Structure 1
Amino acid sequence: MPHTLQTVLDDLGDPGAAACVVRDGEVVDEAVTGTRDGSRPWTTDTLVLTYSCAKPLAALTVLTAVRDGALGLDQRVAELWPAYAAHGKGGTTVRHVLSHQAGLPAFPEAAADVAYDDREALTALLADAAPVHEPGAACAEHALTYGHLCDQLVRRATGEGLAERFARVAGEHGWDLHLRVAGADLDRVADVVALDPTWPAAYVDDPRWAPAMTRPAGLLDPAELNRERWRTTAFPAVSLHASARGLATFYGHLADGTVSGLLGRALHEEYVAPQVTGHDLLLDREVTWTLGFQVDADEIGMGGAGGSAGWWSFRGGYAAAYVTRGLGTHDRSEAVWELLES
């Protein structure tokens, strides 16, 4: 029996997941499996936490402010946010932030005692933080800090929160993507569960990842992540709740001219172009970062802790997404990728 998207999902043993493929602006394949919460069946409009799949959307929101002339890509962050110049960060540019070159891959140690929804306290800690490298001299994924840095840029430049600005853009383009879940959508959100026996020890016990993923506390804990408090908090580095169709639609629009029309051609080219290639100090591997995405010869996209991912395939000419409530490794999204590329 030939493999299909549905048979691949059925074979994964996932407690709840979905995959979607978009080509030429149309959904050409879609599959769901499992349940939202152990009882309610997963449907095509089910939302689930996708962690760092959020980062390209946070970057896009900053770029809409660049488009409007409210800030510049090579403008120094401290021109908008004077306190940010502390401890050698005065030369940090907006471009450095968006391409993970700002040198702040983790919140300071004090953030371990700060509530994850205390935006002002976490932002103040970033302003007073010392970078782990000279801004622009290296790259290290800004695992949890990325969204607060982007949010502060948008707030300082426009007076509007990043999640609110993104919600307006997403609504205008029909993207079922949410950096903060509205009350009317809460019933669609699936509960996450630890699927892999190494969750969250693979992060908590790793000397590289622990500082980046455990400050502030709670963001690896399924019990906390399933609370309305988290779902209604804007934490734009990792708080994306998405349907597979919504994420695949976004990547389709990334390639079909829709996002280019939103940003303008030159800024869209900046968005998707390689900005830095090198050994990422957090990921501990060679990476090419754009302004928000990872890119290689095969695809442009972004995955998130837990296993979800979205991408545009250069070879296949399609957009796809896989989203899951089972927190584990990326072997499942890789299985979907391998089917679609075969």
Structure 2
Amino acid sequence: MSIEGFTEPGYDEVRQVFQRLVDSGRETGAGLSVWREGREVVRLNAGWADTGRSRPWRGDTLVMPYSLSKAFVTLAALSAVRQGALALDEPIAKYWREYGGRGKEGTTLRHVLTHQAGQPRFPAEAAGLDLLDDAALRDSLARAAPEYVPGTSLGEHALTYGHLVDGILRAAAGTTLGALFNDVVRPALDLDAWFGVPDSALDRVADLEYAHHDWPQQLHAAPWLGIPAGALDTERTNSQVWRQSVFGAVNMHTTATAMAEFFSRLTSEDGPVRQLLGPQLHTELLTSQVTDHDEVFGTRITWTLGFVRDKGKIAKGGIGGSAAWWSLRHHHACAYLTRRLDDHSRAAEIAAALGDDLTVVGED
């Protein structure tokens, strides 16, 4: 497979690594973008956007990056905080009354955004629900007891993150996660990213495929991803109904260029994220909030409000291999988005070519 795109001088090694991934068959469809000093210095596309291998991957190809989506759920929640609809440290039950029982009376939005709310998975009672039955899934979270006392432990809210925020926004702000993102956040940040892909962009969406037939079973996070069934089933996730629905924890669809540009402007004091949130919430967004062993990740990790942070980067990735980050050391941003669901070794090799390290996620 040939590679299409460009690299500015000084980024030859990045292109060479990307070429090796393609030549070895480890990559069958992906986009890579690097931004520095306000411009895109690398844009590379390789492989195919569809399982039939008839549509080449292009710079505007959209793909679902799984948990990278969560960072934008956070922005929707914080934009509602800035509007005064709710507060980070008030009990959720003040707004969402049905939620305030069985040990969740003191759970706050901050607990949710830092993965400390004790609901890293949907309860067993939700096993029979359809993946896209939003109301029933929200209700299952409201009725369930947390797995630990909120604020006392850590575990990424793998599939529940978006439904928790959506429930809070519906109760406190009278809007939905999808509406707030698409009507407020996305335009403010000028993002080619969608919760609910519009008809006009469906032909740009890439099909997901497993690198190995047993990929779902190999995931450390598999126990947190099985209820409700279907989030790892490519027959479901490649369907039009899924692409045009909102499942906030995982199903934003976006491009590598859009994500690298976003991360390149994430920390800027005159950038669009700070303008969207205001100085106080922008600082909160980027500040390390909690460091502990994350049972879903299986490692010690530092969370901000929605991102992973260490001494070298602010980042977010998703199962399957997609990742994006801002390098605190080198002041560039990179996004590697793939449709071939495998581990993160491909993004890690790209990061190494840039002098970054995706393996270090410890204390800031």
Name the TM tier (shorter chain): over 0.9
Runs of 4 or more off by more than 6 Å in structure 1?
none
Deviation readout 1:38-79 (Å, 9 max, x if unpaired): 111111000011000011110111000011111001010000
Q: Alignment partner for residue 256 of structure 1, among 268, 271, 274?
A: 268
Aligned-residue offset at 1:336: 1.1
Aligned-residue offset at 1:6: 2.8
Q: Alignment partner for residue 232 of structure 2, among 198, 216, 220?
A: 220
| Kept in 2: contact 1:148–1:235 (CA 8 A) | yes
| Kept in 2: contact 1:312–1:319 (CA 8 A) | yes
1:300 & 1:196 partners in 2: Cα distance? 30
| Kept in 2: contact 1:277–1:286 (CA 8 A) | yes
| Kept in 2: contact 1:107–1:211 (CA 8 A) | no
Counterparts in 2 of 1:291-306, with a 5 A limit?
291-306=305-320
2:188 & 2:86 partners in 1: Cα distance? 23
Q: What secondary structure sits across from 1:104 in the alignment?
A: coil
Q: Which has the higher contact order (CA 8 A, sep 6+)?
A: 1
Show structure 1 runs of 5+ residues with no match.
none
CA 1:137–1:338 in structure 2 vs 1: closer, same or farther (change >3 Å)? same
Answering whether residue 192 of structure 2 is matched by residue 176 of structure 1, we say yes
| Kept in 1: contact 2:104–2:145 (CA 8 A) | yes
What letter matches 1:195 in structure 2?
Answer: A
CA RMSD of aligned residues (A): 1.3
2:168 & 2:264 partners in 1: Cα distance? 27
Aligned to 1:333: 347
Deviation readout 1:287-313 (Å, 9 max, x if unpaired): 111111110111111110100011100
| Kept in 2: contact 1:9–1:17 (CA 8 A) | no
1:226 & 1:6 partners in 2: Cα distance? 29
Aligned to 2:248: 236
What letter matches 1:340 in structure 2?
Answer: L
Aligned to 1:193: 209
Answering whether residue 166 of structure 2 is matched by residue 166 of structure 1, we say no
Q: What secondary structure sits across from 1:262 in the alignment?
A: helix
Deviation readout 1:112-155 (Å, 9 max, x if unpaired): 21111110000000001111110011111100000101111222
1:319 & 1:219 partners in 2: Cα distance? 28
Aligned-residue offset at 1:24: 2.1
Q: What secondary structure sits across from 2:127 in the alignment?
A: helix
Counterparts in 2 of 1:88-237, with a 5 A limit?
88-168=103-183, 169-203=185-219, 209-237=221-249
Aligned to 1:267: 281
What letter matches 1:321 in structure 2?
Answer: A
Q: What secondary structure sits across from 1:155 in the alignment?
A: helix
Aligned-residue offset at 1:86: 1.7
1:253 & 1:226 partners in 2: Cα distance? 31
Q: Which structure carries more helix by proportion?
A: 1
Aligned-residue offset at 1:198: 3.9
CA 1:287–1:193 in structure 2 vs 1: closer, same or farther (change >3 Å)? same
2:223 & 2:214 partners in 1: Cα distance? 17
| Kept in 1: contact 2:267–2:286 (CA 8 A) | no
| Kept in 1: contact 2:103–2:145 (CA 8 A) | yes
Answering whether residue 108 of structure 2 is matched by residue 65 of structure 1, we say no
What letter matches 1:21 in structure 2?
Answer: V
| Kept in 1: contact 2:291–2:300 (CA 8 A) | yes
Show structure 2 runs of 5+ residues with no match.
1-10, 357-364
Aligned to 1:277: 291
Equivalent residues, number = 337
Counterparts in 2 of 1:43-82, with a 5 A limit?
43-82=58-97
Answering whether residue 296 of structure 2 is matched by residue 287 of structure 1, we say no
Aligned-residue offset at 1:3: 4.4
Fraction of identical pairs, as percent: 43
What letter matches 1:226 in structure 2?
Answer: N
1:95 & 1:116 partners in 2: Cα distance? 26
Q: What secondary structure sits across from 2:315 in the alignment?
A: strand
Q: What secondary structure sits across from 1:87 in the alignment?
A: coil
Aligned to 2:8: none
1:110 & 1:248 partners in 2: Cα distance? 39
Q: TM-score, normalised to structure 2's length?
A: 0.90
